[in-house]
Amino acid sequence: MIFMMIIPIILTIVPVMLYQAGMLLCKKKSTVTHYVWTWIMMIYIWLVFSVTGIGSMWDIISKGGLIATFQQANIGFIPFQSDGLFTYCMNIIMLMPLGFLLPYVWKNFRNPIKVALTGFLFSVFIEFAQLPTNRLADVDDLMMNTVGAILGFVIWKIIGNYFFNKKEQQRTISLGNSEPVIYLMLACICNFTLYNWTWFI
C-alpha cells in the first residue's frame, strides 16, 4: 500500500529532477529557489493526480484496448449537467494553484491565454486518463478546471506582485520558455505509461 502511494510521487517529481540534472550537465542552471518552487508545483500535480484518480495505459490494456475503453467509458458531453454547486466549485478550486504558480514562477507565463490553455490541456489529460477508471469524464470538468486556472492567474495578477514578490529574481530564472510545459508532460506521460497498480498485488 505504501509503495502504491510512493511510486506516483516518484513518477511525478523524479523525471523533473532528472531533466534539471540534464540541463545542468548542459551548463544551463537556475537557482535553488527556482528548483524548490518547481518541486512544490510537482507535489501539487501529484496531489491532483491522487484526487482525480487517473488511470494508466495498463488499465486501458486490461479493458481490451482503447476502443473497448471508450465503449465502456462514462462520458458526459452535455455541459452543465453535473450534480450540485459543490462539484463545480471543487473543479474550479483544483486548478487555481496551477493558474497561480505558472506566472508566479515563470515570467513568460504571465499571459492569461497561456495559463488558460495550459490548464485546459492538463484537464484534457486528466479526463482522458479517467476513462479506464469508470469515473465520469465530463465536459463540465474541463470548463471548470479552465476557469480555475484563469482565476488562479487573476489572483496572482491582483496580489502576487504585491504580497508574494519576495526573491522574484531568484525564483523566476527558468531553464527555458517551455519549462513548466515540459514538467507537466513528463509527469503525465510517466504516470500514464509507467504506473501499474497490479505490480503491487
| Residues 49-81 pLDDT 10s | 999 989 899 889 888 888 888 888 777 778 787
pLDDT the model gives residue 68: 84
pLDDT tens-digit map of 11-62: 999 999 999 999 999 989 999 999 999 999 999 999 999 999 898 998 898 8
Backbone angles phi, psi at 62, to 5 degrees: -65, -25
Instruction: Give the residues across from 138 on adjacent strands.
Output: 76
Half-sphere exposure of 89 (CA within 13 A, CB side): 3
Q: Give this prediction's pTM.
A: 0.91
Per this entry, what is the length of the chain? 201
Question: Left (φ > 0), alpha (ψ -120 to 50) or beta: where does 137 sit?
Answer: beta
Q: Which three cell numbers stand for residue 138?
A: 465530463
> By the 8 A CB rule, do 152 and 123 touch?
no
